[in-house]
Amino acid sequence: MKKEQIVLIVDDNPTNLSVLTEHLKTWGFDFMVARNGESGIKKAIQGKPDIILLDIYMPGMDGFEVCHKLRSNPETVQIPIIFLTANISQTDKIKGLDMGAVDYITKPFESEEVLARINRHLEINRLRKQLETQNSQILLQNSRLEEEILKRKYIEDELKEREAMFRGMFEYHSAPMILILPKSGWIIKANQAAADYYGYSIQELEGMLISNINQESSDVIFDSIKKAVSNVCNVFGFKHKLKNGEIRDVEVHTSPIPWYGGRLLFSIIHDTTDRKLAETKQRELEESNLRLQKAESLGRMAGGVAHLFNNYLYVVTGNLEMAIEEVPNNAPIRENLIEAMNAALRSADVSGMMLTYLGQTITKSEALDITEFCRNNLSTFQSSIRDKISVKVDLPDNEVVVNANATQMQQIMHHLFSNACESKRGDSCKISLGTKIVNSSDIQNMNIFPAGSTLSEDKYGCIEVSDSGCGISEDDMHKIFDPFFTTKFTGRGLGLAVILGIVKSWGGIICVDSKLNHGSCFMVCLPLSLGSSIKQTKEGHRDIDTKNRATILLVEDHDMVRKMTDVMLRRLGFDVVPAANGNEAIKLFSRHNESISCLITDLSMPGIDGWETLAEIRKIQPNIPAVLTSGYDEASAMSGENIERPQVFLHKPYSMDNLKIALEQALFKDA
């Protein structure tokens, strides 16, 4: 016996107690003794015996009452009770059993019988407890099983509800949705929105592979599927083909979902074609704005540089001009001075070309027949062409009249022919020249400059110069009109930029078509003129009468420029009153206004500028002739709403002849 079991003996007879306790010791039981009913109940509650031997007939509370109380108490209700008695009627036996006793032992005791009955009822009680434990476990398991069944039913119901919800969302959602088998790319499910978008029926879509609509290569498609399945990337940009053949830009949001032990890709398709077009337009607009800002900034810089550059260049050319006049024709140094003068004038041309590109030069446009212009100037164009370059001319008999300026048109043709010559591959090159009228629909697919230009005219007058040279790459095409961009060698690349500036100022466009190693075609397209072409005539000018010396008020803040102009004016036969600024000029004019015939003033000066100086002097003498000079271009210098205007604008650097002509125009403007 692993554990000593406790027997509670309740008997008022000492002899019985002695006999029973001796036997219990012998059998290995532990025991408790109570000599009356009240004591027996207390010890049963406190000691929790495994079995109770209870005498029936005791003074005070008898065994039946003790049994009743023990069976009424939850703490003792399960303890087996064996009645001890010497004489008992059948009625009392039944009464005891009804009260909950499990057996009777009749006195005098037989030790074997007592042991056998105790062991039997202890075993019965043990089995009862075991059975109760098992029943409790079964009940607990049943309860858990019922709970699990309820949970599973809830989950199944929830899954059914979610499936119904997903099916509803999938089938009736406005966004195209498809389910794809990752291994094969097979579309196993598509919603109505997908069918409507792609133009197929649902049945047709569900029999297709994703590669049937995705325009990427199979390697790219399955690499994207692999990334989506592993959640490395879940958003992709593709081009999808619709049933009608249209290619659309799409953004695919895709994620893996469980499916019968495997995975499917659940994909939602968003059309991004319009968005991409809008983004492209926005990008082009931003680039256009950036180019405009760049041009404005470059214009300000070029204007400022030109002002300073032309001021100092004027001093150089003026001194060279006077030195050449002073040197005898046969003097060796005369040739050097002439070369220096030519270089200085070419420098001034470069400054002017930059301003032309920026659209900061103003020239008078007139109706010009470009066919007749090309015919009359063909020999001039050909004179600049090198050997082994042939020119094919295709000029129609009819007029092609546009609004342009003949002088600047000569610049355009010179630069176009130079560009064609420099494109030569090998030893020879062919150049073609032609004029015609083109419809806007004929040129809409060409590369059009300035970038972003719209074809505002239905028809254009066109000068076309093409060559069989090296052509232009796609990467270089958008840069060919940038100043100083060249594929040849550093220091070139301003010619095309000048052409663009001139054409832009006329409201025209330039169309370019080129293929690498197959030559290029440049088309200068200008709005047609409604007027007739007019012939240019040279205007004469009146000579200044130097017998009566006129006095010039010269206002210039740069010392070297002022001294140079002073010398020129005196050589031309004028008297000069020099002033270093506007305030000094006003004071001098107030004292000498009766003797001063004309005002020459620089535009940009510290303190009050040339406009303010002119306005203040004309308050003193309203009709005083004036010449405004500046290193800035005429467009910038003459802009603004100034009440007083000069008779002539003279751009620096200028020659002595330019100065003479300007003074003639100013002094004899109203003559």
Which of 286-291's residues contact partners 24+ apart within 8 Å by CB, and which partners? 287/451, 288/451, 288/452, 291/451
For residue 295, is it left (φ>0), alpha (ψ between -120 and 50) or beta?
alpha
Supply the pLDDT for residue 303: 64
Low-confidence ranges of the chain (pLDDT < 50): 1-2, 490-491, 536-542, 546-547, 671
Could you give the CA distance from residue 403 to residue 426 in angstroms, rounded to a whole number? Answer: 38
Distant-in-sequence, close-in-space partners of 270: CB < 8 Å, separation ≥ 6: 175, 250, 251, 252, 253
> For residue 237, what is the DSSP state?
E
Query: 466 near 522, Cβ under 8 Å?
Result: yes
**Cβ proximity of 209 and 184 under 8 Å:** yes
Instruction: List CB contacts of 50: < 8 A, sequence separation 6 or more.
Output: 5, 6, 7, 79, 80, 122, 125
- How much is the CA Rg of the chain, to the nearest whole Å? 58
553 — phi, psi (to 5°)? -90, 110
Classify residue 358 by its DSSP letter.
T
| C-alpha–C-alpha distance, residues 361 and 355, integer Å | 6
CA distance to 376, 549, 598, per residue, from 668 (Å): 35, 15, 11
- 235 to 215, 267, 650: CA distances (angstroms): 17, 10, 65
Helix, strand and coil content of the chain, in percent to the nearest 5, comes to: 45, 20, 30
| Cα distance between residue 17 and residue 9, in whole Å | 7
The token pair at 390 is: 């042939």
Q: Strand pairing partners for 249? A: 239
CA atoms within a 13 Å half-sphere pointing along the CA-CB vector of 413:
28
SS3 of 262, please? strand
End-to-end CA distance of the chain: 151
If we measure between CA atoms, which residue out of 373, 661, 647, 334 comes closest to residue 524? 373
Residue 657's SS3 state is helix
Pick the closest to residue 79 from 117, 32, 129 (CA basis). 129
Q: Which pLDDT score is estimated for 583? A: 94
What's the token pair of residue 50? Answer: 């495994």
Write the CA distances from 234 to 28, 355, 667, integer angstroms: 78, 53, 81
Residues in the chain: 671
Distance CA 195, CA 180 (A): 15
DSSP state for residue 508 in the 8-state scheme: -
Q: Which residues of 1-17 are buried (b: 16+ CB within 10 A; e: fewer)?
A: eeeebbbbbbbebeebb
Q: Is the peptide bond before 328 cis (omega within 30 degrees of 0)?
A: no
Tell me the pairing of strands 103-106 and 81-85: parallel
CA 204, 205, 208, 211 torsion: positive or negative? Answer: positive
Written as six digits, the tokens of 356 are 């032309």
Buried b (16+ CB within 10 A) or exposed e, 431-445: bbbbbbbbeeebbee
Detail the DSSP E strand segments found in 445-556: 447-449, 459-467, 509-514, 520-527, 551-555
**Cis peptide preceding 653, ω within 30 of 0:** yes
Task: Write out the H or E segment, with its range, that includes residue 597.
Answer: strand 596-602
Give the pair of three-digit tokens for residue 14.
Answer: 């000492």
Find residue 106's DSSP bridge partners: 85
State both tokens at 496: 């095309």
Query: What CA–CA distance (Å, rounded) separates 178 from 171?
Result: 10
State the pLDDT at residue 111.
Answer: 83
Classify 249 as helix, strand or coil. Answer: strand
Count of CB atoms within 10 A of residue 282's CB?
10
User: Angle at CA 512, nearest 5°, toward 506 and 516?
Assistant: 155
d(CA 524, CA 509): 6
* Residue 264 to residue 262: CA distance in whole angstroms: 7
For residues 54 and 51, give the distance between their C-alpha atoms in angstroms, rounded to a whole number.
Answer: 10
Residues 6+ positions from 254 with CB-CB distance below 8 Å? 180, 228, 234, 235, 236, 265, 266, 267, 268
Q: Which helix (H) or strand (E) holds 39?
A: helix 37-47
CA 479 vs CA 79, 96, 475: distances in Å: 108, 120, 8
3 state SS of 396: coil
Per-residue pLDDT at 99: 86
Q: Going edge to edge, which strands form the sheet with 459-467?
A: 389-394, 429-439, 459-467, 520-527, 509-514, 447-449
Can you tell me which residue has the tokens 């030069």?
361
CA distance 444 to 145: 79
- Where are the strands (E) in 620-662, listed by range? 626-630, 648-651
Q: How many Cβ atoms from other residues are within 10 Å of residue 214's Cβ?
A: 20
Q: What is the dihedral of CA 248, 249, 255, 260, to 10 degrees?
A: 20
Retrieve residue 227's tokens: 């990334």
What does the block give as tokens for 287?
A: 């680039």
Strands 262-271 and 389-394 come out as unpaired
